[in-house]
């Protein structure tokens, strides 16, 4: 089956990376996966196409904005792919009731905005896929994790870069500060002298987006530069998707956080998986049951909430123990979340 993804492609974003994985794995099974658009010189390994007749199905992948191709392209796609051949992936939980979590994260700012999204989705396709392990919330909603795990991408210790960080967080500051500034950093500050370099790699940790309010609600980018400075946290710009694992591997510990609304909806993201490719000890800001559901029971050992300081220090002191835990998780991921399985699930969803 030939599947065309219509999505906003950004070299430093997880969904682009995931589709790149689909391209790679799909080829082995005789499927062609491509993104709609002209070839981009800075993403040479990605298959882009505007030859819509070469595809059987189209997948519209939406994040936190209704990514739109231009009108001429839009009508060409709508005319080419019948409604039954279109599928939506709702990556950021927009196809849900209005959710506001503790006056902080939310899927929509207003009910009218939510209604527009629902109308848009319902008009475009019959089925909405969600990358979640939660039960479907409506008859037309299909949980499909979307992201997968490919053991061949695991970075061996011998190939890993030198460990220049003790702790690293790779990801943008997009609805993260409540967790980072509210729990992680306060727990580490008292023991800061016992920890080596701490790095945050991604955008908006030290300042909000230059676009201003157009980029999104200010709470999403909130941070405290004074704390960042006081704790000597090294801020570095985002890296391209194909550099993420190597970058993570430059730290003994990587801290995983997830946007609260997506955690609430039990959405999985690419980061759930790629952090386990890295030669590092992932420590997870997830509740233990959810971590076990995704990663298997061994992952309970890696969760941080309520014990950040103790867990970080323990991981730094007993790395071999944690490497064993990580291996258990990797085996679970390979068995339950392979891209082969994901491709099968995607193709099956397309056929029904």
Partner 1 sequence: MKLLLVTSVDAWTRSVATIHHYAATARANGHDLAVYGEPKPELPGLPFTTELSGVDMALFVMQVPGDLPDMPYLARLIDTVSRKKRAVVDLWGRYNDTIRLEHDFNHLEKLDGHLGWEWEEAFRAISGTLLQPTLSPLRADVGSFLFHGYDAGSVVRSWDNAAAAASAWRASGTDERPYGVMYVGSNWQRWSQVRAFLEGYAVRREKVGQACLTGWDWGERPNWAIDKGLAGIDTDPGFLEDIGVAIGQGVRFDEIVPLLSKARFAPVFHRPLFRHLGFVTNRSFETFHADSLPVLMLPRDFVEAVYGPAALALVPDGDIGAHLSDTLDRPERAWDALLQTRAHLARQHSYARRFQELAAIADGQA
Residue from 120, 133, 153, 314 touching partner 1 (CB under 8 A): that is 120
Decide if residue 128 touches partner 1 (CB under 8 A). Answer: no
Decide if residue 49 touches partner 1 (CB under 8 A). Answer: no
Minimal distance in Å, beta carbon 77 to partner 1? 8
Minimal distance in Å, beta carbon 40 to partner 1? 16
Residues in the chain: 352
Decide if residue 124 touches partner 1 (CB under 8 A). Answer: yes
Judged by CB under 8 A, which stretch of 119-127, 130-138, 248-256, 318-326 contacts partner 1? 119-127
Minimal distance in Å, beta carbon 333 to partner 1? 37
293: its two tokens: 């559901």
DSSP state of 155: P
Number of residues that bind partner 1 (CB under 8 A): 21
Minimal distance in Å, beta carbon 163 to partner 1? 47
Residue from 41, 42, 44, 71 touching partner 1 (CB under 8 A): that is 71
With contact defined as beta carbons under 8 Å apart, do 18 and 149 qualify?
no
Residue 272, phi then psi, degrees to nearest 5: -55, -35
Judged by CB under 8 A, which stretch of 105-113, 114-122, 264-272, 278-286 contacts partner 1? 114-122
Q: Give the DSSP H/E element, type plus range, for residue 252.
A: strand 251-256
Judged by CB under 8 A, which stretch of 41-49, 120-128, 187-195, 224-232 contacts partner 1? 120-128
CA distances in angstroms from 258 to 183, 229, 271, listed in the order given: 14, 23, 9
**Beta-strand pair 198-201/233-236:** parallel
Q: Is 170 left (phi over 0), alpha (psi -120 to 50) or beta?
A: beta
With contact defined as beta carbons under 8 Å apart, do 350 and 57 qualify?
yes
Decide if residue 74 touches partner 1 (CB under 8 A). Answer: yes
Minimal distance in Å, beta carbon 66 to partner 1? 8
Decide if residue 80 touches partner 1 (CB under 8 A). Answer: yes
Q: Which of 283, 272, 249, 270 is nearest to 179 (CA)?
A: 283
Residue from 123, 138, 212, 214 touching partner 1 (CB under 8 A): that is 123
Minimal distance in Å, beta carbon 152 to partner 1? 38
Minimal distance in Å, beta carbon 338 to partner 1? 34
Decide if residue 79 touches partner 1 (CB under 8 A). Answer: yes
Which residue, chain included where needed, has tokens 């392990």?
133
Of the two residues 2 and 12, which places its CB atom closer to partner 1 in the complex? 2
Residue from 2, 12, 73, 242 touching partner 1 (CB under 8 A): that is 73
Decide if residue 194 touches partner 1 (CB under 8 A). Answer: no
Of the two residues 79 and 213, which places its CB atom closer to partner 1 in the complex? 79
Decide if residue 50 touches partner 1 (CB under 8 A). Answer: yes
Beta-bridged to residue 143, according to DSSP, are 130
Please report, in angstroms and rounded to a whole number, the separation of the first and last CA atoms in the chain. 13
Of the two residues 3 and 77, which places its CB atom closer to partner 1 in the complex? 77
Q: How many CB atoms lie within 10 A of CB 191?
A: 13
Decide if residue 83 touches partner 1 (CB under 8 A). Answer: yes
Of the two residues 68 and 110, which places its CB atom closer to partner 1 in the complex? 68
Q: What angle do CA 338, 278, 265 make, to 5 degrees?
A: 60
Q: How many CB atoms lie within 10 A of CB 196?
A: 12
| DSSP track, 267-334 | B--HHHHHTTTSSSEEEE-S-HHHHHHHH-GGGGGGB-TT-HHHHHHHHHH-HHHHHHHHHHHHHHHH
Decide if residue 10 touches partner 1 (CB under 8 A). Answer: no
Q: Is 234 left (phi over 0), alpha (psi -120 to 50) or beta?
A: beta
Decide if residue 76 touches partner 1 (CB under 8 A). Answer: yes
Residue from 28, 29, 65, 68 touching partner 1 (CB under 8 A): that is 68
Decide if residue 168 touches partner 1 (CB under 8 A). Answer: no
With contact defined as beta carbons under 8 Å apart, do 199 and 169 qualify?
yes
Task: Give the gyration radius of the chain's Cα atoms.
Answer: 20
With contact defined as beta carbons under 8 Å apart, do 295 and 303 qualify?
no
With contact defined as beta carbons under 8 Å apart, do 53 and 81 qualify?
no
Q: Which residues bind partner 1 (CB under 8 A)?
A: 50, 52, 68, 70-80, 82-83, 119-120, 122-124
């Amino acid at each position: 089956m030939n599947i065309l993804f219509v999505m906003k492609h950004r070299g430093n974003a997880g969904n682009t990376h995931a589709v790149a994985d689909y391209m790679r794995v799909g080829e082995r099974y005789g499927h062609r996966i491509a993104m709609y658009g002209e070839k981009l010189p800075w993403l040479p390994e990605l298959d882009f196409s505007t030859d819509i007749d070469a595809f059987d199905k189209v997948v519209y992948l939406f994040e936190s904005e209704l990514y739109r191709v231009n009108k001429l392209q839009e009508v060409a796609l709508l005319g080419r792919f019948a409604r039954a051949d279109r599928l939506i992936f709702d990556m950021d939980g927009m196809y849900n009731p209005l959710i506001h979590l503790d006056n902080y994260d939310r899927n929509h700012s207003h009910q009218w905005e939510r209604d527009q999204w629902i109308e848009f989705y319902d008009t475009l396709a019959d089925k909405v896929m969600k990358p979640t392990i939660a039960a479907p919330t409506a008859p037309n909603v299909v949980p499909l994790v979307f992201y997968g795990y490919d053991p061949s991408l695991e970075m061996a210790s011998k190939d890993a870069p030198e460990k220049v960080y003790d702790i690293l967080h790779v990801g943008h500051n997009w609805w993260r500060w409540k967790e980072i500034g509210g729990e992680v950093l306060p727990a580490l500050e008292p023991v800061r002298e016992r920890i080596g370099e701490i790095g945050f790699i991604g955008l908006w940790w030290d300042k909000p987006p230059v676009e201003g309010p157009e980029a999104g609600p200010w709470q999403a980018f909130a941070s405290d530069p004074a704390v960042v400075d006081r704790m000597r946290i090294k801020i570095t710009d985002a890296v391209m998707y194909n550099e993420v694992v190597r970058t993570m591997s430059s730290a003994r510990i990587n801290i995983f956080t997830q946007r609260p609304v997506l955690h609430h909806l039990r959405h999985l993201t690419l980061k759930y998986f790629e952090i386990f490719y890295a030669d590092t000890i992932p420590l997870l800001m997830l509740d233990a049951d959810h971590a076990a559901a995704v990663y298997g029971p061994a992952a309970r050992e890696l969760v941080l909430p309520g014990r950040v300081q103790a867990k970080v220090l323990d991981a730094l002191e007993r790395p071999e123990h944690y490497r064993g835990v990580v291996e258990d998780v990797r085996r679970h991921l390979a068995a339950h979340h392979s891209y082969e399985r994901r491709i099968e699930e995607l193709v099956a969803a397309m056929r029904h």
